[in-house]
Structure 1
Amino acid sequence: MKILIVGNGGRESAIAVKLKDDKRISKMYFAKGNPTTAKLGQNVYEDSVEGLRDFAIKERIDLTIVGPEAPLVEGIVDEFKKHNLKIFGPRRKTALLEGSKAFSKKFMQTNNIKTAKAVVFDAYHDAIDYVRNLKFPIVIKASGLAGGKGVVIAEDLNEAEATIHKFMIERIYGDAGIQLVIEEYLRGFEASIIAFANGTELFPCIPVKDYKKAETGDYGPNTGGMGSVAPSPEFTAEHYKDFQENILAPTLAGLNAADIHFKGFIFFGLMVTADGTYLLEYNLRLGDPETQVIFPLMENSLYDVIIDCLEGKPIDLKWKNEKAVCLVMCSGGYPRVIETGFEIKNLDKVENSEVLFAGARALGDKILTSGGRVLSLVATGATYGEARDKVYKDALTIKFDYGFYRHDIGKF
């Protein structure tokens, strides 16, 4: 079998590592890939939907797995299916559950899914007038795709007005911010649950704790994720029951009512409060850095699970009785203005964890930083502490200029 994996982040590295020992797979291709994937297959430099389609036809790709959200929203699954190419992911219509937070919020409200109260705005002055009558803090979200960074918790009116101006007038995230979702602030802790979809059912993975703030102690701006732990130590059986009854079940009912029967991944971003579990957002793909800790603990063959889903079969996910920790090492300035192009040193001295590259590129025999989240260090252990010690020991070994990471991943 020939596999094409679309994407170049830590998530795609984790997919590659999970698939690498499957003897049925003769070759893996990655678009555009990174230094991890280059060792496990062949990186290719197509990035348009049409270019990827033509590549899949030319190379007779047996299965394509889509990592990032942008190609899904652009309709890569629709295009591949026109040409009878096997691909795992939702069509464009379904991907709007991630691609438009306004569309997503309406879906939640229509289907009585437990979520924060919210209002959608298309006009700048209407949004400004609305926040002047609210109690703070509030949450302001760019409706479109903003690389995981288009969410601001505004602590006061000045911050709210400034955020609305940046999103809608300055357009710091381009067209993603011309429509806003303004919602109530929920106090609690976050959790992530990713599920496989086989067209008629959803099969959840273990819950994950993701660390979104840039700085140790949960301070600083939101990021795409500074680390993760699985299973989430805070997410109890009671929280899971609430999730099943008030989020998972009505989501599936809403998809069926809308005649949406997709085969791919669906990500539930959750907030657990004193009043129970609420849905913050959907993603229609694997999370990053959640994927990095889910796959090392999954006993099933990823290839078998995906094929069973594509064939509409039920799946039975099995999990190791271990803990997994992922630590993300970042470029200086992330998630704002970043500094890149620096050599990553001492990689040959890493002994305790798996190195999964993301924002990095090869130059000759060197690997240089090229993005905000440079690499993930992933380890498993009998306890969170054991796994945590492994990644932090290796983090002390790896060196690149201006690099930084949080010091409290796995401390809870």
Structure 2
Amino acid sequence: MKILIIGNGGRESAIAQKLSSDSRIEAFFFASGNATTEKLGKNIQKTDIPSLRDFAVKEKIDLTIVGPEASLVDGIVDEFTKHGLKIFGPKKRTAQLEGSKAYSKKFMQQHGVKTAKAVVFDAYQEAVDYVVNHSYPLVIKASGLANGKGVVICKNVEDARATLYSFMIDRVFGDAGIKVIVEEYLKGFEASVIAFSNGKKLFPCIAAKDYKKAGNGDKGPNTGGMGSVAPSPEFTPEHFEDFRRNIMEPTLAGLHDEMLDFKGFIFFGLMITANGTYLLEYNMRLGDPETQSLLPLLENSLLDVILDCIDGKDVELKFSDKKAVCLVMCSGGYPGNFDIGYEITGLEKVKHSQILLAGAKYKADRVVTSGGRVLNLVATGDTYEEARKKVYEDALPVKFDYEYYREDIAKF
């Protein structure tokens, strides 16, 4: 088989590593890939959908797996399917469950999915008038895609006004902030559940824990994710049953009712409170960095699971009872402005962890930084502490100018 993987982050490196031992795969192609994927296959510098479609047709690609959300929202699955190409992911209409938070919130409300109370605004002054008379804290979300950064918890009306101005007037996230959701604040802990869909049923993975804030103790701005742990240590069987009954099953019923059935991944971003489990958001793809800690524990063949889902077959997911920890090493300044092009040294001294390069590329025979989240170190162990110790020991010799990472991943 020839496999095309769309994306260039740690998630795509993790997918490729998981598939790399499968003898059925003859060749890997990555669009546009990174320094890890370059060693596993061929990176191609194509990003627009027509070019990717033409490449897949020409190379007779047997399966395409889509990593990032933008390609799904832009309709890559529709285009590939139209040309008889096998691809794993939702079509454009279904991808709007991630592409538009306003659309997904309406879907949740209409289909009885347990979620926070919220109001959608597309007029700045109406939003301001609403937050002036609201209790605090509250949450403001940009409706469109903002790379995981378009959510702000506002502690007072000044925060809310500034956030609305930033999103709707200054357009810090471009068109993503034209429409906003103002949502009640839920207090609790977050968890992520990713499920495979075969077009009829959902097959959930074990829950993972993501660390979204840039700084230790969950301080600082939101990022794309500073690390992850699987399984989530706080997410109990009782929480899972609440999720299944009040979130997953109503979502599946809603997908059928709206004719949004698909074969791909669906990510449930959850908040677990004293009043139960609530849905914060849908993503219509694998999470990053949750994927990096989930896939090492998946005992199934990832290729078999994907192909079975495409064929509409049921799957039985099996996970190791070990613990996995992913640590993300970042460029100084991320998620704000940062410089790139710094050489990464010490990778050969990593002894215990899987290295998943993300924002990194080869320059001659050197690996240099090319993005904000530069690399992931992933380790497993019988306990969280064992896996945590491995990744932090391995992080010490890895150096690049201005690198930083959180020091409290998997510290319970």
**Is TM-score (shorter-chain normalized) higher than 0.5?**
yes
Task: Give CA deviations for 1:89-134 in whole Å, capped at 9, x if unaligned.
Answer: 0000000000000000000000010000000000000000000001
The corresponding residue for 1:148 is 148
Equivalent residues in 2 for 1:382-393, closer than 5 Å: 382-393=382-393
CA contact (8 A) 1:122 1:179 kept: yes
The corresponding residue for 2:28 is 28
The corresponding residue for 1:322 is 322
The corresponding residue for 2:201 is 201
Name the SS of the counterpart of 1:327 in structure 2: strand
Name the SS of the counterpart of 2:395 in structure 1: helix
- 1:223 maps to a residue whose letter is T
Q: Take 1:339 and 1:392, find their aligned partners in 2: how far apart are those partners?
A: 24
- 1:300 maps to a residue whose letter is N
Task: Give CA deviations for 1:152-199 in whole Å, capped at 9, x if unaligned.
Answer: 001111111001001000000000000000100000000000000000
Q: Take 1:267 and 1:407, find their aligned partners in 2: how far apart are those partners?
A: 26
1:266 aligns with 2:273: no
Equivalent residues in 2 for 1:194-233, closer than 5 Å: 194-233=194-233
Q: Take 2:224 and 2:184, find their aligned partners in 1: how far apart are those partners?
A: 22
Q: Take 2:92 and 2:259, find their aligned partners in 1: how far apart are those partners?
A: 14
Q: CA deviation at 1:321?
A: 1.4
The corresponding residue for 1:244 is 244
The corresponding residue for 1:401 is 401
CA contact (8 A) 1:339 1:402 kept: no
Equivalent residues in 2 for 1:77-226, closer than 5 Å: 77-226=77-226
Q: CA deviation at 1:361?
A: 1.4
Q: Take 1:157 and 1:260, find their aligned partners in 2: how far apart are those partners?
A: 38
- 1:180 maps to a residue whose letter is V
1:350 aligns with 2:350: yes
Q: Take 1:338 and 1:118, find their aligned partners in 2: how far apart are those partners?
A: 34
Equivalent residues in 2 for 1:40-55, closer than 5 Å: 40-55=40-55
Name the SS of the counterpart of 1:145 in structure 2: coil
Q: Take 1:204 and 1:11, find their aligned partners in 2: how far apart are those partners?
A: 18
Name the SS of the counterpart of 2:152 in structure 1: strand
Structure 1 runs (4+) greater than 3 angstroms displaced: none
Q: Take 1:136 and 1:409, find their aligned partners in 2: how far apart are those partners?
A: 29
Q: Take 2:261 and 2:148, find their aligned partners in 1: how far apart are those partners?
A: 26
The corresponding residue for 2:379 is 379
Name the SS of the counterpart of 1:272 in structure 2: strand
Name the SS of the counterpart of 2:396 in structure 1: helix
Q: Take 1:56 and 1:149, find their aligned partners in 2: how far apart are those partners?
A: 32
Name the SS of the counterpart of 1:93 in structure 2: helix
Q: RMSD across aligned C-alpha pairs, in angstroms? A: 0.5
Q: Take 2:135 and 2:355, find their aligned partners in 1: how far apart are those partners?
A: 44
| Long gaps (5+) in structure 2 | none
Name the SS of the counterpart of 1:303 in structure 2: helix
Q: Take 2:183 and 2:338, find their aligned partners in 1: how far apart are those partners?
A: 30
Q: Take 2:13 and 2:344, find their aligned partners in 1: how far apart are those partners?
A: 17
Q: Take 1:198 and 1:92, find their aligned partners in 2: how far apart are those partners?
A: 17
Q: CA deviation at 1:369?
A: 0.9
TM-score norm. by structure 2 comes to 1.00
Q: Take 2:394 and 2:135, find their aligned partners in 1: how far apart are those partners?
A: 45
| Long gaps (5+) in structure 1 | none
- 1:318 maps to a residue whose letter is K
Q: CA deviation at 1:331?
A: 0.4
Task: Give CA deviations for 1:243-262 in whole Å, capped at 9, x if unaligned.
Answer: 00000000000001111210
Q: Take 1:200 and 1:185, find their aligned partners in 2: how far apart are those partners?
A: 33
The corresponding residue for 1:293 is 293
- 2:265 maps to a residue whose letter is F
The corresponding residue for 1:313 is 313
Aligned length: 412
Name the SS of the counterpart of 1:248 in structure 2: helix
Q: Take 1:260 and 1:361, find their aligned partners in 2: how far apart are those partners?
A: 37
Q: What fraction of aligned residue pairs are identical, expressed as a percent?
A: 67
Q: CA deviation at 1:45?
A: 0.6
Q: Take 1:51 and 1:362, find their aligned partners in 2: how far apart are those partners?
A: 24
Q: Take 2:259 and 2:370, find their aligned partners in 1: how far apart are those partners?
A: 42
The corresponding residue for 2:60 is 60
CA contact (8 A) 1:4 1:30 kept: yes
Q: CA deviation at 1:339?
A: 2.2
The corresponding residue for 1:4 is 4
- 2:198 maps to a residue whose letter is N
- 1:81 maps to a residue whose letter is T
Q: Take 1:402 and 1:159, find their aligned partners in 2: how far apart are those partners?
A: 30
Task: Give CA deviations for 1:36-81 in whole Å, capped at 9, x if unaligned.
Answer: 0011111001100001000000000000000000000000000001
Name the SS of the counterpart of 1:397 in structure 2: coil
